[in-house]
Structures are given as C-alpha cells and as structure tokens.
Amino acid sequence: MSLALSRCLWQVLSRQTASLSLLGENVRSPWFAPVMTLKTSVPLSAEPKKKKRVDPRRELIMRERLRKKLKKLEKVPPELIPIEDFITSTKCLDEARTRSAAKLSFEESEGRALLLKEWCRYKQEQHMAEVQAIESALEAQREALEELRIVSEELYQAALKPDPLLFPFTHEGPVHTPPQAKYEAPEGKYNDITKVYTQ
Amino acid sequence: MAAPCRRVVSRPVIQFLSSFSRTAVGKTGFRQFSSSSACRVTLQTQDVMERATSPYSLVAAVCLQRLPVISADYKPIEQQFRDMMLQMELEKSVLSDHELRLLEDAERLRRKLADDYDSDEEGSHDDQEIVLAQDLEDSWEQKLKTFQPAPRVRDDLDKNLNSVERCLADSLVLLAEQQVGGEKIWLLPQTQWQEGETLRQTAERALASLPDAFPPTAAGFKATFLGNAPCGVYKYKLPKAARTENSVGTKVFFFKAILSDSSPSTAPNKSIMWLKKSELERYLKPAYFMKVNRFILNL
C-alpha cells in the first residue's frame, strides 16, 4: 500500500518536472518553488561533489605554475669574472705620475725606425729557417716510415701506434745561470694576495 | 696547345703500359714507391720474391739529445733591439710607486737643506724620514752582491767533448764509437734488431748497452723516447765482397730521445761524445751525416 502510494507520488513529481523542463524555468509550481530558486542562483549552480575532486588538482597546478615563474625570474646569468689585465686601475691615470716626455732627436727616431726594419728582416729569416728545418725533419720521417713499410708490415704498424706513456711530458726550460751543486735557498714566507673569484 | 695535348695523351698510355706490366709480372705495391735511384729496379725483383724477409738487415739507432740548460747569449742585433725596446717602454710608462717615493724624498731633502726650513710645516713625518727610498735601494744592491751565481760559460768544460755539461746554451747529440764492419767509426749508438721486438725497443737496448754508460749505482742515461715512429733512415749496401743472397745491406732507423736527467758525477769516458749540430760534420761519414742532419733540429 505505501509502495503504491510512493510510486504514484513519484509519477506525479516526474510529470511535473517534465512539464517544467518543457516550459522553461519561468513556470513555478507551488511544489518546487524553493528548490527552483535554489537551483537557478549562480554560485550554487555547480554540483558540490565535483568541486571537491577538481579543486586540489587545480590548486596543485596553480602552485606549480607559480613556482616555475619564480624559478625563471631567479635564473640570473652568472656574473662574469673581471679580467684584471684589461682594467686600467685608476692609480695609473693619476696626473702626478706622468713622466716628462723626452724629445727624440731626428737621428734617434730614424735609427729606431731602421732598427725595427732590420729586426723584422732578422725575425723573418729566423722563421723561414725554422719552417724549413721542420719540413726537412718531417720529410726524413716520412721516408723512414716508407722504408720501414717496405721492410716489414708489422713493424710499420707497431711504429704507427701512439705512445700512451709519452704525455704528459714536462721539461724544465733554459734558465739564465746554470744550477749550482750545493746551494741552499734562503727561507722566506710570502702572503698570497691574488683575488679568487667564484661564479 | 700542342704540348699540353701531348702530355694529356701520353699519361693514360703510360698508365696502361704500367698496369699491363703490373698484371703481367705480378708486382703490386712497388710502382708507387719508385724513385729515380737505379738500384731500386734490381731491389724490387728481390723484394717481390722475398716479401717476408727483406735482404736488408735491420738496425735501430738512438739520437739522444741534451736540450740547452741555460739561455743563449744575445746576438748583436738582438742586444740592440732589446736596449731600444727597454728605452721605448720606459718612455711610454708612468712613474711607479717607488719612483714617486724617490722623488718625494729628494724634494723633502732639498727643502730641508734650504735655508728657510721650518720643521713644523712638515708635520709628523718622523717614521718616514728614517728610511729613505735610496737607502732601501742600497740595501737591495748589497744583498744582490752577496749572491754568487754559477758562471754561465766554462771554457775548460766546453772543450771536453766527452762531458755532458759542455756548451750549456746549445743542444747536444750523443755519439758513440762503435765497431761497424771491421772498423771503428763514430756514429749514433745502434744495435741489431732481434726477432720479436719493435724497433723502438731495439733503440732502447742500444742506449742501455753503451759501454760504461752508467755507473753501477744509478740507472745512467734517463731518456724519454719521443713516440714509436722512427725519425730518419739510412741505408747502405755492403761492399760487393761481403754481399750474400740474404744480406745486401743494412737499414738503420733512427729514434729520437731527450735526455731527462743525467747524473753528472759519472767519469766521462772516451767512447762517447756530446756534439753540437755544427760539430757533427767533422766526425760523421759524409753520406751518414747528410741523412742525420735533416732530423736533428737546433731550434
């Protein structure tokens, strides 16, 4: 009995809602007035259940976007290390330091120009001699490798292999005076004031 | 017009002929290495037949160089240029701190010695007045004089051809007196190649086997060999009497090495000599010297 009653009520209600949806929102039946007003107001038009699921995701996405923007702003290019040789210190521009420029006589300046030209010629000859020496050494090596190849292929291949133990190769260059046999260098300490830059 | 045409026409003809002869006789790789020496023609036929065992016996030699220890003296033009550059740089420069101090001290001294000297005007310069810049310079000079550097040039050592410490400003090459074919001649130390070792190992053996080359305690000549490849070759044929089928001559391959550290306390022995490049000609045979001179750089 109660089941049939509820079924009838349900049918009535559905009929009402169908007629409502057909006719539009303006039709207000006395049964559904408060419910209708509830449904048409804007902030309450979204379903509350779906809002809960999307919100944390949206918040996370928003936070990540903000973080990325912050990182981009913080990415400053590293400061360039100044080359101290290229910076003229203001001490050198002091006027009190200028030397009295000595005037050169005509012969002196001529002599300097001629000496520069001679030096240029001398250096060129030196360079040409060096280049020739290197070329003849290379030619000698090429011939040697040719002859070795004629003699035996495996020795030739062994000769072509690079020597891993050769590098790093160090040799102390020529000094002004030869080293003394029993020389004790005087002890002393120094303060290293070189500036170290970190990027 | 006619000449280039002839050349163009003749080249493919020559190539055709050579390829024909190549395929006919069977010589494959040797045409490329052909040069103008006449003995090569006979050599090639032999090489083809004995590809694995060449008729030349192999010998490896080592060219040990002691690089200069002190800087060379200036040549006259270099000295002139150096003086001129120093002068020019001095003119273009500004006064340094030390020079400014010298000038100030001189100025102050001049004012002091002048008649109208008022010490109150100077202010408190008591601590600076004690040490003048000039005094500092004098003390530095005195210190320098107490240091005696070793002499750059020692004539007695320079004349001793056997010592490794002669002519410190030039690079020296080691020569040894060895027995070759019945006579003793001066040449770069060499030994015969043995089976199963590379030529560089032969060269190392040649260096190690120099007579009296090292004292019993130390390792003697510490040399760094520059790579596995030979830097030069010298081949010679034995005189006709000594020639056999298997040995027509010898090929000597040279390897470069740099003397890293020699114990100078070794008594110089007469069988080795250290020579500058200019002195090599006197002691080496002419043909040998011509080949060796090419790769010994005096840079």
Is B102 an interface residue toward A (CB < 8 Å)?
no
Look at residue B27 in the predicted model and tell me its pLDDT: 42
Kindly tell me if the per-residue pLDDT of A136 is higher than 70. yes
Rounded to the nearest integer, the mean pLDDT of chain A is 81
Which of A99, A163, A178 shows the shortest C-beta gap to B70?
Answer: A178
Q: Which of B272, B267, B232, B271 is nearest to B252 (CA)?
A: B232
Q: Could A178 and B150 be called an inter-chain contact, meaning their C-beta atoms sit closer than 8 Å?
A: yes
* φ/ψ bin of A80: left (φ > 0), alpha (ψ from -120 to 50), beta (otherwise): beta
Look at residue B38 in the predicted model and tell me its pLDDT: 43
**pLDDT per residue over B22-69, tens digit each?**
444 444 444 444 444 444 444 444 444 444 456 788 899 999 999 999
Closest chain B residue to A147, measured at CA:
B233
| Cβ neighbours around B89 below 10 Å, total | 9
Write down the H helix ranges in B147-240. Answer: 155-159, 199-208
Look at residue B208 in the predicted model and tell me its pLDDT: 85
Q: Which residues 108-137 of A are in CB contact (within 8 Å) with B?
A: 112, 115, 118-119, 122, 130, 133-134, 136-137
Look at residue B78 in the predicted model and tell me its pLDDT: 96
Please tell me the distance from the alpha carbon of residue B219 to that of residue B262, in angstroms, as a whole number: 9
Look at residue A124 in the predicted model and tell me its pLDDT: 98
- Kindly report whether the peptide bond that precedes residue B211 is cis, defined as omega within 30 degrees of 0: no
Look at residue A64 in the predicted model and tell me its pLDDT: 94
At A11, the pLDDT band (50, 70, 90 cuts) reads low
Phi/psi for B61 (5° steps) reads -125, 160
Q: How far is A149 from chain B (nearest CA, A)?
A: 11
Look at residue A102 in the predicted model and tell me its pLDDT: 81
State the amino acid at position B227 in one-letter form: G
Kindly tell me if the per-residue pLDDT of A63 is higher than 90. yes
Write down the H helix ranges in chain A. Answer: 2-23, 33-40, 48-74, 106-151, 153-160
Using alpha carbons only, what angle is made at residue A147 by residues A143 and A150, rounded to the nearest 5 degrees?
Answer: 145
Phi/psi for A139 (5° steps) reads -65, -40
Kindly tell me if the per-residue pLDDT of A97 is higher than 90. no
Q: What is the mean pLDDT of residues A46-61?
A: 73
Q: Are B203 and B226 in contact (CB under 8 A)?
A: no
Phi/psi for B251 (5° steps) reads -115, 125
Kindly tell me if the per-residue pLDDT of A68 is higher than 90. yes
Look at residue B182 in the predicted model and tell me its pLDDT: 79
Q: Could A98 and B94 be called an inter-chain contact, meaning their C-beta atoms sit closer than 8 Å?
A: yes
User: Could you say which residues of chain B have pLDDT below 70?
Assistant: 1-54, 116-130, 211-220, 245-246, 262-268
Look at residue B219 in the predicted model and tell me its pLDDT: 43
Look at residue B123 in the predicted model and tell me its pLDDT: 57
Q: Which residues 206-225 of B are in CB contact (within 8 Å) with A?
A: 224-225
B170's tokens: 């030039």
Using alpha carbons only, what angle is made at residue A139 by residues A137 and A145, rounded to the nearest 5 degrees?
Answer: 105
Rounded alpha-carbon distances, angstroms, from residue B27 to A155, B23, B56, B100, B246: 22, 7, 19, 83, 20
A101's tokens: 């420029």
Look at residue B48 in the predicted model and tell me its pLDDT: 43
Contacts of B256 (CB under 8 A, 6+ apart): B62, B63, B65, B225, B226, B227, B231, B295
Q: Could B67 and A171 be called an inter-chain contact, meaning their C-beta atoms sit closer than 8 Å?
A: yes
A122's tokens: 């001398």
Q: Could A141 and B93 be called an inter-chain contact, meaning their C-beta atoms sit closer than 8 Å?
A: no
- Output the DSSP codes for B112-159: HHSSS--HHHH-S-HHHHHS-HHHHHHHHHHHHHH--PPPS--HHHHH
Q: How far is CA A199 from the centre of its chain?
A: 12
Helix (H, G, I), strand (E, B) or coil at A160: helix
Q: How far is CA A4 from the centre of its chain?
A: 79
Please tell me the distance from the alpha carbon of residue B24 to that of residue B27, in angstroms, as a whole number: 8
**pLDDT per residue over A155-178, tens digit each?**
999 999 998 988 889 888 899 998
Q: Are B166 and B153 in contact (CB under 8 A)?
A: no
Q: What is the mean pLDDT of residues A61-76?
A: 91
B244's tokens: 């056999």
Q: Could A176 and B70 be called an inter-chain contact, meaning their C-beta atoms sit closer than 8 Å?
A: yes
Look at residue A99 in the predicted model and tell me its pLDDT: 84
Look at residue A15 in the predicted model and tell me its pLDDT: 60
Look at residue B36 in the predicted model and tell me its pLDDT: 43
Q: Could A159 and B230 be called an inter-chain contact, meaning their C-beta atoms sit closer than 8 Å?
A: yes
Q: Could B150 and A180 be called an inter-chain contact, meaning their C-beta atoms sit closer than 8 Å?
A: yes
Q: Which is more confident, B99 or A38?
A: B99
Kindly tell me if the per-residue pLDDT of A148 is higher than 80. yes
Kindly tell me if the per-residue pLDDT of A24 is higher than 80. no
Enumerate long-range contacts of B188-194, CB under 8 Å, 24 or more apart. Answer: B188/B61, B188/B62, B188/B63, B188/B254, B188/B292, B189/B61, B189/B62, B189/B64, B190/B59, B190/B60, B190/B61, B190/B62, B190/B252, B191/B59, B191/B60, B192/B57, B192/B58, B192/B59, B193/B57, B193/B58, B193/B59, B193/B60
Best-predicted range by mean pLDDT (A42-51, A139-148, B50-59): A139-148
Look at residue B14 in the predicted model and tell me its pLDDT: 46
Query: Tell me, what DSSP letter sits at residue A175?
Result: B
B81's tokens: 């240029």
Rounded alpha-carbon distances, angstroms, from residue B144 to B96, B140, B141, B147, B195: 22, 6, 5, 6, 60
Closest chain A residue to B152, measured at CA:
A177
Which burial class, exposed, middle or buried, applies to A143 when counting CB atoms under 10 A from its CB (0-12, 13-18, 19+)? middle
Please tell me the distance from the alpha carbon of residue B58 to that of residue B120, in angstroms, as a whole number: 93
Strands B249-261 and B232-237: antiparallel
Q: Which is more confident, A102 or B33?
A: A102
